[in-house]
Amino acid sequence: MNTRPQHHQVSIIVASPNPTGSLHLGHALNLTVQDVFARWYRSHGARVYWEGTTDHGGSSTELVMHQSLKEQSKIPRDVPDSAKQALLESLTKQNVCTIARQFQDLKLTLDATSMRSIGDEDVQNEYDDYVRTLYNKGYLYGAKKIDDWCYERGQSIPNYDCVSKKAPVQTYTLKYSLGDFTVTVDHAELAYLIDEVGLLVPAGSELADFEGTYATNPLGKSVPVYGAPVSSPRSLVPAYDAASLQFCLNRKLEIPCSIDHHGHLRAGMFKDQDFRAARNDLLAIIRERGSLLASLEQLENVRSCRGTGYRVYSRVVPGLFIRSSILLQNAIDTISSGMFSIYPKRYQAYMLNWMKDLVNRGDEADWKLTREHLCGNRVPSDIIRQAFQLPAGDPIPDYRMDLMISCALWTYAANGKYCINKRGPISTQVDTSIFVTGLDLLFFMVASAIALSPGIGEAVPFSDVIVHPLITDEFGQKMSKSMKNTVEVDDIIQEFGTPALRLYLLSRLDETQDYLRVDPAEIAILSKQLKAMKCNCSTEPSSVRHVSVEEINEDLNRLEKSLSERDLGSAARLLSSWVSSFPRWRPLPDDVRRRVREISEVFLTEPFMI
């Protein structure tokens, strides 16, 4: 059986680690898988291009910057952007040097270690072309939508960086006057009353007779009454509530927003005051007017920033959006056509179900392109002006791409145009492009990259997607630098050595498991066995049966087959059994010995002393 790869040119698309600290075991697994395939293809004569890069395209890097400011007892929202940018550059430079050194410690056979990132200036032109193409094809549009906003950071927070958690929430039952009627409405944020534009009453009820008249709200402000399909009276606050926003957009009503991105009130008697601090003053006014009927504090699910724990609030902001429902339907067709492969195969069904769910949600699930971060790729100013129909002379906001979109487009820029044409040693006509990723990036990066293919007019930049499990801590949580629950690569390598770490991680791969827990004691055993094999010292009795040449050749064929089928776990486990049974080896013919050494070097176990 000939299981050797027939490919002549191979590129590897790196899911680059963020320069937010040193590499942990999750990175080690991801990079080791890439390295094994790079070594394997090269050992069979293929021309491989694999470049070491980093990624500072958005929220995670800025999160570390904010954490650093907190450790210095500084309030992030009060620090000028120039000072934040200087801190970002300092942290990034320091961490990139650490990561480059760890690439060497992991024995990675990179073709280049320029450590370029998706935020580099020399890739900006590539991104500008992509964004303009999306806009010109009608996949990109500007709109006002409700966003998750963190006032502590002064930034919108992507959905994937938000979590729901129980927290005490104060709910106020307030009185509205509607003719001779008293109407009660529940509010969880008093400051939103400042931007209230109306009162919604149930259509078809007796209150609907007041449609077109005015009600007096708890602050004494007159607000118009609208009949709507609601079950009970509701406050109309379009700047902070998605349903209210849609109602106002449909009727072309005013959408005021007095709370700025730092949480300060822009106008009125509370100008420049923090909206949370204004609650007490607002409550005093409402009590004085006799508008407070009841208040209740109870635990409710609230949105919070995953990394900082800060609560995030809803706020209307203008943004650029990608029509993901249309693009994802094209992606579903692409995946179903078999144009590329996902390993293990079961993840293909996961991805398709995720895409179908978003397609069914329509424009509600459209991807937001701009997040107004300091990191990441800029959106071209001409696109911002056109999408928002800004008059000539108006200032153009400095929008940045969402991390998910930046990363997805990076796979295109890194393959072909950017790496191979401009920097790499091979042409763009590659037989195979491998993308290795953890389960968490399957939807975040891979699915979005596939979906963007028709939008930017380029073929999907990878033919094989290899998905590995996520490494977890002892409590089953994914290891993450932002969660501070990582096991550092440096510690393991220093104690057990690189070969033991790499072979252990690979041998734990299991196509049926989504998560992987690491046991240092098992790495220690494997490290001891590798050292014994290297020294050719046997503690086994001489009567142990030797492995035959036929058995070795059979194992070698199985190893090659497993690699060709992208099943690294089976290959690594077989190799681990070789290590544990090393005393059973005996001198082998030259051709067999060559194949054994070749496969051993692919996995970076020390060459067998045979």
Quick check: is 146 in a domain? no
Q: Looking at the structure, tell me whether residues 345 and 277 fall in a common domain.
A: no
The last residue of one of the domains, among 311, 341, 369, is 311
Q: Tell me the CATH number at 440.
A: 3.40.50.620
Q: Looking at the structure, tell me whether residues 370 and 442 fall in a common domain.
A: yes
Q: Looking at the structure, tell me whether residues 290 and 165 fall in a common domain.
A: yes
Q: Tell me the CATH number at 230.
A: 3.90.740.10
Give the count of domains, the chain.
3
pLDDT digits (tens, 9 = 90+) for 507-517: 999 988 899 98
pLDDT at 55: 75
Q: Looking at the structure, tell me whether residues 122 and 162 fall in a common domain.
A: no
Q: Looking at the structure, tell me whether residues 444 and 383 fall in a common domain.
A: yes
pLDDT above 80 for 598: yes
Which value, in Å, is the radius of gyration of the alpha carbons in the chain? 29
Paired strand residues for 147: 315
Measured distance CA(451)–CA(207) in Å, rounded: 47
pLDDT digits (tens, 9 = 90+) for 39-66: 998 888 888 888 777 776 677 788 888 8
Q: Looking at the structure, tell me whether residues 558 and 583 fall in a common domain.
A: yes
Q: Looking at the structure, tell me whether residues 319 and 297 fall in a common domain.
A: no
Q: Looking at the structure, tell me whether residues 322 and 298 fall in a common domain.
A: no
Instruction: Determine what percent of the chain is predicted with pLDDT higher than 70.
Output: 90
Quick check: is 172 in a domain? yes
Decide if 230 contacts 198 (C-beta within 8 A).
no
Quick check: is 307 in a domain? yes
Q: Looking at the structure, tell me whether residues 447 and 415 fall in a common domain.
A: yes
Question: What is the model's pTM?
Answer: 0.84
Q: Looking at the structure, tell me whether residues 453 and 495 fall in a common domain.
A: no
Q: Which domain holds residue 303?
A: 158-311
Name the pLDDT band for 429 (thresholds 50, 70, 90): very low
The last residue of one of the domains, among 468, 503, 525, is 468
Q: Looking at the structure, tell me whether residues 445 and 392 fall in a common domain.
A: yes
Quick check: is 438 in a domain? yes
Q: Which DSSP state fits 417?
A: I
The last residue of one of the domains, among 311, 337, 367, is 311
pLDDT at 545: 60
Quick check: is 382 in a domain? yes
Q: Looking at the structure, tell me whether residues 168 and 293 fall in a common domain.
A: yes
pLDDT at 15: 67
Quick check: is 531 in a domain? yes
Measured distance CA(366)–CA(377) in Å, rounded: 19
- Name the strands in the sheet holding 432-438, side by side, starting at the edge strand that comes first in the sequence: 47-50, 9-13, 432-438, 464-468, 341-343
Quick check: is 484 in a domain? no
Quick check: is 482 in a domain? no
